[in-house]
Chains A and B, each alone.
Chain A
Amino acid sequence: MTTTALPTAAALALGDDALVLSHRLGEWAGHAPVLEEEVALANIALDLLGQARVLLSTVGDEDELAYLREERAFRNLQLVEQPNGDFAHTIARQLYFSTYQHLLYARLAGGDGPFAGLAAKAVKEVAYHRDHAEQWTLRLGDGTELSHERMRRACDALWRFTGEMFRPVEGLDVDSEALERDWLESIGEVLRRATLSVPEGPRSGAWTAGAGREGLHTEPFGRMLAEMQHLHRSHPGASW
């Protein structure tokens, strides 16, 4: 790893996003609707885990950070900790997040900041994640009556978690407003082509009780962490 010190807050934010979403996607193992999707989701999870390891290692010991931090110390977006729900929910979450991550990493890769090296590498991987989510959004939205309805429900349900992505993060040198404009434009275009409408309603609000970037998380996150950390906490220092 290059020794350039990354800004801690930003590295934790991006690293925790990748780690938490990776774990959520990993929960599909053994449950995905078809074998190809099982493999695709696991591969996307693996890419995200790789990004998380690079980012968290710049902050401290990756295992301690992943397995021994309490809920309030995590800085991930509330969006990525949302439960998998049905397949449409997983795809909507992935569409919202991958589009954000792709646009963000493309900007970071184009600059000369401390994240440029990782971003230049990760942006190429994330392009495939984004493409995967867009293809499924089209297929489900413009599919059967049932798939359309489920995709609509999923996009609506997660909409309220999308505002947080564009709050400025300390140490992350990007124009949040321009990023948000590009994101809205892209998501609007995908949803339109998928015969879905852009959800109405606020994209953040008092109900969020703050935000994931500040360590405030939604109720399902605690249970996810309990499962993710259980083995490491029960058998500290175990190896095989």
Chain B
Amino acid sequence: MVTVTPLEAELLEVAGSVPDPELPVLTLLELGVVRAVHVRGADAVEVELTPTYTGCPALEAMSVDIERVLHEHGVREVTVRTVLAPAWSTDDITAEGRRKLREFGIAPPRTGARAGAGPGAGSSGPVALSLGPTRTYADPLDASAEPVHCPHCGSAETELLSRFSSTACKALRRCLTCREPFDHFKEL
């Protein structure tokens, strides 16, 4: 492990302060997609950025924004490098990031995705197979998973409407208590 210099830590904060283009309530650092900043020579830095999903169309906008804030911070040469491994997981979203998502009306992903909870997390295990809307108080897909709470009223009784929503990283759910539909950041 390479030691992070105070300057690199400072620049990481700057690069990570960029808001996510699609979820502007979150910063890239809270989303967990800015991996590192390396100082390369006098006035040049390299930023390691990882996509949430391989096809995430926001990646280019993120790179441009990172370059801009670092230029404004006085760095002359900025290279943003995309790294795939280790794969990003929703577990990389910080606690503060989860709180902001909820406040924004999006149910945050449940933790433990990397360890194998949730239908999308187990990379080698079989995909759960059952029919019907998946309501979280009796989730037939995964009995061990904690329920998805409604970000509006907090109820644990919610149901899946669609596995894919406004973006690939979200599913569309509905609260059975307050009846509001909401986005759920899927575990990955």
Binding site for B on A (CB under 8 A): 1-2, 36-37, 39-40, 42-44, 46-51, 53-54, 102, 105-106, 109-110, 116-118, 120-125, 127-128, 130-132, 134-135, 138-139, 142, 186, 189-190, 193
- Complexed CA–CA distance, A118 and B86 (Å): 9
Inter-chain contacts of B168 with A (CB < 8 A): 43, 46-47, 125
Listed stretches B4-12, B17-25, B48-56, B65-73; interface member:
B48-56
- Complexed CA–CA distance, A49 and B53 (Å): 11
Give chain B's interface secondary structure class: loop
- Complexed CA–CA distance, A128 and B81 (Å): 27
A-B contact pairs, 18 of them (CB 8 A): A1-B82, A36-B161, A39-B165, A40-B162, A51-B54, A54-B54, A54-B84, A102-B127, A105-B123, A118-B84, A120-B86, A120-B123, A121-B54, A121-B87, A128-B119, A131-B120, A132-B163, A134-B129
Q: Would A125 and B53 count as touching, CB distance under 8 A?
A: yes
Q: How far is the CB of A14 from chain B (nearest CB, A)?
A: 12
Inter-chain contacts of A122 with B (CB < 8 A): 54
Q: How far is the CB of A3 from chain B (nearest CB, A)?
A: 10
CB of B154 within 8 A of chain A?
no
- Complexed CA–CA distance, A42 and B54 (Å): 14
Instruction: Assess A36 versus B172: contact at CB under 8 Å? Given A121-B84, A124-B188.
Output: yes
Inter-chain contacts of A43 with B (CB < 8 A): 164, 167-168
- Complexed CA–CA distance, A122 and B168 (Å): 13
Instruction: Assess A142 versus B88: contact at CB under 8 Å? Given A46-B57, A128-B120.
Output: no
Chain B 91-127 interface mask (CB, 8 Å, partner A; 1/0): 0000000000000000000000000000111111011
Q: How far is the CB of B35 from chain A (nearest CB, A)?
A: 12
- Complexed CA–CA distance, A81 and B92 (Å): 36
Q: Which residue of B89, B124, B166, B188 is within 8 Å of A39 (Cβ)?
A: B166
- Complexed CA–CA distance, A42 and B134 (Å): 22
- Complexed CA–CA distance, A29 and B140 (Å): 31
- Complexed CA–CA distance, A140 and B53 (Å): 29
Inter-chain contacts of A127 with B (CB < 8 A): 119-123, 127
4 tightest A-B CB contacts, nearest first: A50-B55, A117-B85, A50-B54, A36-B162
Inter-chain contacts of A135 with B (CB < 8 A): 131, 163
